Structure 1
């Protein structure tokens, strides 16, 4: 699988501890947006795109057969590395492809 190139989306990759950390940081925002509490919130796959920061499209397992697709933007270090939740899609399965936003 290739890494993200400026302007282009990466292939789908297995989530890393860094991706899980990003998900942990936005879990509260995701719960507020979906109006649900998640005991499990495990990043499993992701894609990314480098463009004035990094866009992430992440598949998150939230228990049983349920998965979310979470789209985020992380700004560059010189802009504070803020993480912005863009979109949450519910009702995904383990095998659904992660679509770039």
Structure 2
């Protein structure tokens, strides 16, 4: 099921382009790795990607990457992050700007 405008999509596996996007917005924190594994997306005036990222042995963070519309440059920026996540934690919407 694809997202309804403003709602979250179903859970999807990350793909190679998602890794490139995450590397562009990777925070300066000392994460051992930064591998996206699952994501959900939200279509608004652009797209928000809520991504589960593997950062250490059994540690994960959830990040929100906002991508502007192509007519606005299509740039990506990290707009929120939740720490101390596990593989089992569901990826849900969280307020942008969350650190």
Partner of 2:64: 71
CA distance in 2, matches of 1:22, 1:70: 12
User: Where is the strand percentage greater, Structure 1 or Structure 2?
Assistant: 2
Given the alignment of the two structures, is residue 54 of structure 1 paired with residue 50 of structure 2, yes or no? no
Which structure has greater helix proportion?
1
Asked if 1:41 corresponds to 2:34, the answer is yes
| 1:44-88 Cα shifts (integer Å, max 9, x gaps) | 000001111001100000120100000121001110111121111
TM-score (norm 2): 0.87
SS at match of 2:21: helix
**What TM-score comes out, normalization by structure 1 length?**
0.86
Change (3 A) 1:3 1:20: farther
Unmatched tracts of structure 2, length 5 or more: 95-99
In the alignment of these two chains, the number of paired residues is 94
Provide the aligned C-alpha RMSD in A.
1.2
Which stretch of the first structure deviates more once superposed, 11-20 or 60-69?
11-20
Structure 1: gaps (5+ residues): none
What residue is the counterpart of 1:82 in the other structure? 75
The CA distance in 2 between the partners of 1:23 and 1:4, in whole Å, is 21
